Amino acid sequence: MNENEKKIAIWGSGDYGKMAIRYFLSKNVKIECIVDNDKNKWGTKVNGIEIVSPGIFLEMQDIHLYIAVNVSIIKDIETQCDEMGIKNYEAFDFRLYSERERLISYSSKRDMEDVVLYHALKDVNEIFYIDVGSNDPYERNVTKLLYDMKNASGINIDPQRGYIDMTNRERPRDINICCALSDEDGELELYYQSGYSTVVQENVKDEDCYHEKVKVTTLKKICEKYCEGKEIHVLKIDAEGSEAKILAGADFKRYKPWIVVVEATNPGTMEDSSEKWEKVLFDNTYEFARKIGVNKFYVLKEKKDLIREILAVDSLKEKYCIYHAELFFE
C-alpha cells in the first residue's frame, strides 16, 4: 500500500511536525490527525488538521503514525508508543522534505508574488517580464527569483534614478529605464516617500518631502521600442496610485502579457482600488485569477489554463522549501 492509499497521522505539531505535514500535503496524502503531548494544543488545528491526545489516537484504527519531532526526543516518543501499545509507527524521514525544490523569495514574505509567478511559469523557458515600479532590484523584488532561477530577463521601469543605477549593476541582461508611466508622454512631479514614492498628488502624505520633475511615457511606447516579436509572460504594476493611467496607456491588442499582476489597494492601506482600472483588463480578455495580499493576478483568456497554477501562499509552502531574503534586509 502506498502513502496515498493508507491512513496516516503525524506525531508533533511544532516546526518538525509542520515539515512533515507540508510534505504529505504536497503529495496529496490525507492526514487524519496530529498527535501531541501538549494538552493545551488538543482540539486546535494545524493546516485544518485537528491535534489530538495520544489517548484519543490510540482509539483510532489502521492509521500509520509518523513521528516528526526533534531528534533528541524521538526515542522518548517511540518508548511512549511502545508502552501505550501503539505499534504502527516510524520516524519521519526529513530527507523527503528536503527533496522539495528550494527557493529564495525576494518579495514580500506575506504575499510571495515571485514564488506565485515562478510556479505558474515553471514549464516556460525564456521568460520575459515587464516590471513597472521595479524599485530595488533585490529587496522585495518580484522578478529577481525569475531572473536567478529561470534565466529570465525583461524590462525594469522606475522613476527613481538610484534604483535604476543599482538595477543596471545587478541585472545586466535586463533593459532598465528611468521614467514614470502614464497615459501620455510628458513630465510629472515625483514625490519621494520611502516605499510610497508617487506622482499622484492626492497620495502625497508630506508636501515638504523632496520632489522633482521626472520624464513620463506610456507602456505602449515602451513595448513598441523593446517588445516587438517578443512573448511577454508577466506584466507587474506597482505604482502607488498610477495603475489606472498606466493600464490606459498600454496597447493590449498588440502586446498581450500572459499574466498581469497589479497592486490593487490604495497606497499604505488594504482598501481595494481595482474598480478604478480593472475594466481595462476585462475589456482586453483578461480573467481574474486570484487576490494575494495587496495584489490581484489576471490571466489572458488565451492562457486561461494558467489560472489553476496561480496558487495561494499556503499551497506554495507545501510544494517548495522557501527561504525569505526579507529576513536579512535589515
| Residue 2 is assigned to a structural domain of this protein | no
Encode the chain (330 residues) as per-residue pLDDT tens digits: 445 568 999 999 999 999 899 888 877 899 999 999 999 999 999 988 999 999 999 999 899 999 999 999 999 999 999 999 999 999 998 887 777 788 999 999 899 999 999 999 999 999 999 999 999 999 999 999 999 999 999 999 999 899 999 999 999 999 999 999 999 999 877 766 666 676 555 655 667 676 678 899 999 999 999 999 999 999 999 887 789 999 999 999 999 999 999 999 877 778 898 999 999 999 999 999 999 999 999 999 999 999 999 999 988 988 888 888 876 655
| Beta-carbon count within 10 A of 126 CB | 11
Q: Do 118 and 176 share a structural domain?
A: yes
217/224 Cα distance (integer angstroms): 12
Q: In this structure, what are the phi and psi dihedrals at residue 79, rounded to the nearest 5 degrees?
A: -60, -45
Q: Do 42 and 112 share a structural domain?
A: no
172/329 Cα distance (integer angstroms): 22
209/32 Cα distance (integer angstroms): 57
Note the pTM of the prediction, 2 decimals. Answer: 0.73
Q: Do 112 and 83 share a structural domain?
A: no
| Residue 36 is assigned to a structural domain of this protein | yes
Q: Do 240 and 286 share a structural domain?
A: yes
Domain extent, residue 153, equals 102-185+219-328
CATH number at residue 110: 3.40.50.150
Residue 26, pLDDT score:
74
**DSSP assigned state of 194:** G
Query: Considering only CA atoms, which of 77, 121, 84 is closest in space to residue 303?
Result: 121
Give start and end residues of each alpha helix (H) in the chain: 15-26, 54-58, 74-84, 94-98, 113-120, 144-149, 161-170, 219-226, 243-248, 278-283, 313-319
CATH number at residue 37: 3.40.50.720
- Count up the domains in the chain and report the number: 2
Q: Do 134 and 48 share a structural domain?
A: no
| Residue 111 is assigned to a structural domain of this protein | yes
DSSP string for 11-32: E--SHHHHHHHHHHHHTT--EE
Residue 22, pLDDT score:
83
Residue with cell 500500500: 1
66/93 Cα distance (integer angstroms): 9
Residue with cell 498588440: 254
Query: Considering only CA atoms, which of 213, 226, 225, 219 is closest in space to residue 245?
Result: 219
96/202 Cα distance (integer angstroms): 52
Residue 210, pLDDT score:
64
